[in-house]
Amino acid sequence: MILQRPSTHKETARNKLLPQKIGLFVWRANLERLPVRVELDKRGIDLDSVRCPICNNDIETVAHILLHCSFAKDLWSRVFRWWNLNRPMYANMGKMFQGNRNALSSQTSKLWQSVEWVCGYIIWRNRNLNAFQKKKGNGPTALNEVQLKSYERISRRSKELAMEWNQ
């Protein structure tokens, strides 16, 4: 008997410029399968609150924590300004991780995808630091981290791109 994939199955995200853990994070975010508070509550895990641990303004869903939370909005705005791109509003992560590539060349598009994925991963990491260690991140520091991690990942893993830090 051959096992068939469900019709809702999405392929694992791939970007050879980034570590597999970031691709897995993006894949889980696209499927809305990150362990956010509303999902944990649905599974019967007793929580003090299902509100966002960063802003406390809304229920913590994948879309909220990665797109709509004040910390995420601020960081995305900084990243879009850094790249001189207009920041459109997205309803979910799938749209976010697929957007803005039409206006970019294929090589630049791969770089942008790397920056997007690193940014989402850093937002998620900051959320976890806040939720479990009560450490609050800030936009300028997080932007520096996105820039540094993107540069490190791309410059170490790309054979075609010879990047310098000032680029």
Give the Cα separation of 154 and 150 in Å (integer).
6
Q: What is the mean pLDDT of the chain?
A: 82
User: Hey, where are the domains in the chain?
Assistant: 20-157
- Assess whether pLDDT exceeds 50 at residue 113: yes
Lowest mean per-residue pLDDT among 27-36, 86-95, 109-118: 86-95
Which of residues 161 and 52 earns the better pLDDT score?
52
Look at residue 82 in the predicted model and tell me its pLDDT: 92
Split at pLDDT 50, 70, 90, the class of 94 is low
Confidence of residue 91 (pLDDT cuts 50, 70, 90): low
Decide if pLDDT at 4 tops 80: no
